[in-house]
Structure 1
Amino acid sequence: MPYVWDFSAVTRNWTVLLSGLGGTIMLSLAGIALGILIGAGLAAMRLSGLRALKWPATAWIEFFRNTPPLVHFFWFFYGLPMAFGITLSSFGAALAALGIQSSAFFAEVFRGGIVSVERGQWEAGRALGMSRTRLFRRIILPQAARRMAAPFVERCFELVKTTTLAAALAHHELLYAAMVVVTETYRPLEVYTVVAILFLTVLFAASQVSEWLEARGRAMQGR
């Protein structure tokens, strides 16, 4: 007997799903902001010639790039209270896990963009008498930003999708909201199909905005 699709379960609970989508967007934006902030510092440490800065940053990056994100979620939510007596809310634990884990990837995006700029650009700027700060801001950073744009956006998209792991902490984001609806309606196919469509819609719209901004940036630089 073929499956009979019935999306009335979704329409009756659309406010719950939209609330979960709002939670996902809020967690994503906060996680991206935290990841960028920490990642920029880590990139600067790795680019430093000081071993006392470079080695800890490298260890941080390698650890969080090569361990499962779900472990980080559980550690911040369950491990911190047990080990240090620090209790975080589900949002706080999810934000810490997302921000810290993504900082390792953002750091490599930033570092890779900067080191990809030819060494001759630095030497030419110094020959013109530019300070290191002005040289970085006026010459190196604009070129690096264009080269890191694609991997940066891809990392942001991965972070948005990783927010679904917050459902394991009972944080009210989109997947957790969907799980609540499924337990009440017993229509998992319809509910999770809509969840997939919502993620697709949000990320596709974000990708279009990103491409438009990138094209606009190239047009402005070409003037």
Structure 2
Amino acid sequence: MDYSWDFGPVLERFDMLALGLLNTVKIAAVSIVLGVLVGLVLAMMRLSTRKWLNIPSLVFIEFYRNTPPIVHFFWFFYALPVMLAVSLDPYVAAVLALSTQSGAFYAEVFRGGIVSIERGQWEGGRALGMTHSALMRRVIVPQAIARMVPPFIERSFELLKTTALASTLAYADLLYQAMMVNAETFRPLEVYTTIALMYLVLLVTASQFARLAEARLTAYQ
């Protein structure tokens, strides 16, 4: 196959791709923050001995862990507006899909970190007369955080890559903008090679910051 590579037309429209990259980072950052909040609530519910808290959280987590992410995007964008008689734009629908899905996974990260702490730590705190909240705050959570960091970072990277599904809702993320550029230039090899490199740079940069944060956090333990 004799193919002549030409990145010129793509670079002329790089501002479109840059906007898509910015939108990807924006939707990922918001979804991570909301996902962490959802995950913390779900983790506390899962750790509760009350069935009316434990069972709904288990159902929520298992549902999101065992269904395709794209179904969540379509449900929030097409089904939820019908149920509530409201209109959701692609950004809101994508954030809802990403934050609830990631929340289910973050919940297991938080729960796993907490239950991994040795039983002796719990018993020692109770023997000192600590309340449950004081025990969690002073003994359990500080130790659990170090164990949560690696899976938390991994899950956040997965979320960042999953943002590409927002393009199916016509949200102007990096992949959607790439499709627009491709429609104008008819240079799919150059367009998708470019955004692959952009995703690579983004994830490698995020990885370096994450490792730096993990190293500093470990140093304070």
* TM-score (norm: length of structure 1): 0.96
What does 1:134-173 correspond to in 2, within 5 Å? 134-173=134-173
Deviations 1:70-97 (A, max 9, x none): 1111111111222331211100000010
Corresponding residue of 2:68: 68
For residues 32 and 215 of structure 1, the distance between their equivalents in structure 2, rounded to whole angstroms, comes to 21
Q: CA RMSD in A?
A: 1.0
Corresponding residue of 1:220: 220
Corresponding residue of 1:187: 187
4+ residue runs over 4 A deviation: none
- Structure 1: 5+ residue runs without aligned partners? none
Identity of aligned residues (%): 55
Contact map agreement 1:114 1:140 (CA 8 A) in 2: yes
Corresponding residue of 1:33: 33
Q: Return the offset for 1:132.
A: 1.8
Q: Return the offset for 1:196.
A: 0.9
Give the secondary-structure state (helix, strand or coil) at the position aligned to 1:202.
helix
Deviations 1:139-163 (A, max 9, x none): 1111111111111001000101011
Contact map agreement 1:17 1:174 (CA 8 A) in 2: yes
For residues 66 and 140 of structure 1, the distance between their equivalents in structure 2, rounded to whole angstroms, comes to 30
Give the secondary-structure state (helix, strand or coil) at the position aligned to 1:2.
coil
For residues 9 and 65 of structure 1, the distance between their equivalents in structure 2, rounded to whole angstroms, comes to 41
Which residue identity is paired with 1:70?
I
Correspondence 1:2 to 2:2: yes
Correspondence 1:58 to 2:45: no
* TM-score (norm: length of structure 2): 0.97
Q: Return the offset for 1:217.
A: 2.1
- Structure 2: 5+ residue runs without aligned partners? none
For residues 139 and 192 of structure 2, the distance between their equivalents in structure 1, rounded to whole angstroms, comes to 47
Corresponding residue of 2:87: 87
